[in-house]
Structure 1
Amino acid sequence: MSKMSRKEETKNNLLDAFWELYKEKPMAKITVKEITDKAGYNRGTFYTYFIDINEALEILKASLMPDKEMIINPFMELKKNDGTIIEPIEGTNDYLKKNGEKIAVLLGPKGDPGFVHELKARLREIIISYAKDLEIKEVEDFEYVIEYHVAGLISLYQLWLEKGQNIDEESLGHVYEETAYKGALSVINRMLNDIR
């Protein structure tokens, strides 16, 4: 095993130990000693990789940020297919399968309040950059529409995760599609008038 891979393994072990503790208790109650004991290292090892526990959290959050391709592909498809996205949440579902537990905790009531803001800022930055590359005329208005859509999408997944993924991905996809294409008020009106 190369020296670099051993370093990466140690850093990952420390991050995993931190995560296990973060799931169980508030950030303010986690100590470096607990992290290193759980990971099987001494306290000094932690400081080789991180300035403090906050940096460990920031590194963990940064690893959860979606990549540009996942964010831009639906917009490219929307433009190419005259306003239709064929697989609207496929990339998002893969992303959630990989990172769902961590996202659920970070978005949850005991998670990091800043994570939602950082996630929205990342998504907005990617999408607005794409819009500017296309040279769309209404970039300022577009940014507000994107904020509305992104906030709704994050909240949709947040609720789904909080409810233990109580409906299947396909049903969630249908809820998203209908709301995205028809608008929330139209869907709410349909549901209110669809009496049993």
Structure 2
Amino acid sequence: MSGFTKEIIARTFTELLEEKSMAKITVKDIVERCGVNRNTFYYHFRDIPDVVEFILKKKWDEILEAPQEKTSILECMEEMVSLVRDNRKLMLNVYKSVKRDTFLVYMNEIATYIITEYFEKNLEKFDLAEDEIRILIKYYKCLFIGILMEWLDQGLKSDLGAEMREAAELMNRHPELTVILNQIN
């Protein structure tokens, strides 16, 4: 019953985000909507930011439980885009709130996990040393997070998945770009 109540409180908070910004949601709003008293809320959560962290952790756990069978870095990025897009209101509100640091910690962990899984499952495709793979994981994680932050800053207005596919196609059509962009003098 306790876990069920915690889930209801979290789901109610997510529903309220569809109606108003996180800054305007109160504990009173949550308990009235889901039919529990304040003491029950505070038994499960310290405050509203604690509810947010619970929800983010739950999303993280869902990703950990799902098998990672990505065949390209682009697919890894698209998974991150889907996670944010499918939870649009929550992600935007948390990103714009005082819990932004918590959001970025989880996004960093998720990106690192997804990219690491990609490299581990595709090791036979690469002739790279372990430290070289670590560098690539860090590079792509930072790239992902930077792209996601810009997308969030713009209010998720563009179709980021389509933009990433266009960029990948551009790099495929013009392999000289990789040489030019990464040239060391």
Q: Do the two structures share a fold, i.e. TM-score over 0.5?
A: yes
Q: In the alignment, what sits opposite 2:58?
A: 63
Residue deviations 1:33-63 (CA, integer Å, cap 9, x gap): 4532343321122244x14125422211112
2:98 corresponds to 1:104: no
Q: Name the Cα RMSD after superposition.
A: 4.0
Q: 2:164 aligns with which of 170, 173, 176?
A: 173
Q: In the alignment, what sits opposite 2:150?
A: 159
Amino acid at match of 1:52: R
Task: Return the offset for 1:68.
Answer: 4.3
1:1-196 → structure 2 map (5 Å cutoff): 8=4, 10-19=5-14, 20=16, 23-25=21-23, 32-48=27-43, 50-53=44-47, 54-65=49-60, 67-68=63-64, 72-74=68-70, 77-78=71-72, 89-108=77-96, 110-125=98-113, 127-128=115-116, 131=119, 134=123, 138-169=129-160, 171-177=162-168, 182=177, 186=181
Residue deviations 1:64-114 (CA, integer Å, cap 9, x gap): 22614878433xx14xxxxx86x5655444433322222222233654212
Normalising by structure 1, report the TM-score.
Answer: 0.61
* Highest RCO, 1 vs 2 (Cα 8 Å, sep ≥ 6): 2
Task: Return the offset for 1:157.
Answer: 2.5
CA contact (8 A) 1:104 1:161 kept: yes
Q: 1:179 to 1:47 in 2, by over 3 A?
A: farther
CA contact (8 A) 2:53 2:102 kept: no
Structure 2 counterpart SS, 1:105: helix
Distance in 2 separating the partners of 1:23 and 1:47: 21
Paired residues, number: 169
Structure 1 counterpart SS, 2:158: coil
Residue deviations 1:131-181 (CA, integer Å, cap 9, x gap): 567598633332232122112112212322332333334542235526887
Amino acid at match of 2:63: D
Structure 1 counterpart SS, 2:21: helix
Distance in 2 separating the partners of 1:59 and 1:132: 29
Task: Return the offset for 1:129.
Answer: 6.0
Distance in 2 separating the partners of 1:59 and 1:170: 27
CA contact (8 A) 1:70 1:91 kept: no
Amino acid at match of 2:102: G
CA contact (8 A) 1:132 1:139 kept: no
Structure 1 counterpart SS, 2:36: coil
Unaligned runs of 5+ in 1: 79-83, 188-196
Task: Return the offset for 1:128.
Answer: 3.6
Distance in 1 separating the partners of 2:64 and 2:170: 24
Unaligned runs of 5+ in 2: none
Distance in 2 separating the partners of 1:108 and 1:71: 30
Amino acid at match of 1:42: N
